[in-house]
Amino acid sequence: MIESQLRTSGVNAEFVLKRMSAVPREDFVPATAKSFAYMDRAIRLPEGGALAAPLVHGMMLQEAEPQSDEHVLLVDGGTGYLAELLRPLVADLTVITPEDAVGSGRKGKGANLLIIDGAVEEVPAKLAKRLADGARIVTGLVDNGVTRIAVGRKGDRGVSLLPVFDVGIPQLHAFAKPKEWSF
């Protein structure tokens, strides 16, 4: 995984490689999927979530550059794997579900880094309200069926995201935009 997937795709940050070497992916999938936990594709889970490919998590961590004094809000894609990668790197980690993220809860208010473990069509305003002004955001972004790693910030006018790398990321349907009529 480290040599054939991460390094060859530009994920070379030492802290990322160290954490991904230390946390066994097979511990976050069902017993029937343990033999292919390191494949370069997402693994669907029985309860509906997915474990993204190693490259996705490596790129997200590298783009996030989590700091030891940061308060991080993580929207978990259903496995707990990214939370385990992050936990020792930051001061405080709050993990919520996608359903909690789009709800009206206030858990995680004031985080300076938001990471969403999955692809979203938009970052809801209710979720952005849980972030400190200027907070960094790393997420998967889906646009017309194409998923990308995106980075951004929370500003006075909401959230701004910039796509940085096209890669297959499991979509979090709780973040789907309402369907609109068009010509």
Residue 62, domain member (yes or no): yes
Cβ atoms 154, 127 nearer than 8 A: no
Q: For residue 4, what are the contacts with CB-CB under 8 A and spacing of at least 6?
A: none
Residue 180, domain member (yes or no): no
pTM of the entire structure?
A: 0.92
Cβ atoms 172, 118 nearer than 8 A: yes
Q: How far apart are CA 112 and CA 13, in angstroms?
A: 21
Cβ atoms 161, 152 nearer than 8 A: yes
Residue 95, domain member (yes or no): yes
Domain span at residue 91 reads: 2-174
Q: Where are the beta strands (DSSP E) in 5-145?
A: 43-44, 50-51, 71-75, 92-96, 111-120, 131-143
Residue 183, domain member (yes or no): no
Residue 45, domain member (yes or no): yes
Which tokens hold the place of 61? Answer: 């961590």
**Tens digits of residue pLDDT in 40-56:** 999 998 887 899 999 99
Q: Give the number of domains in the chain.
A: 1
**Tens digits of residue pLDDT in 97-122:** 999 998 866 555 689 999 999 999 99
Residue 118, domain member (yes or no): yes
Question: pLDDT-derived band of residue 180, with 50, 70 and 90 as boundaries?
Answer: confident
Residue 179, domain member (yes or no): no
Cβ atoms 105, 64 nearer than 8 A: no
CATH (domain of 142)? 3.40.50.150
Residue 168, domain member (yes or no): yes
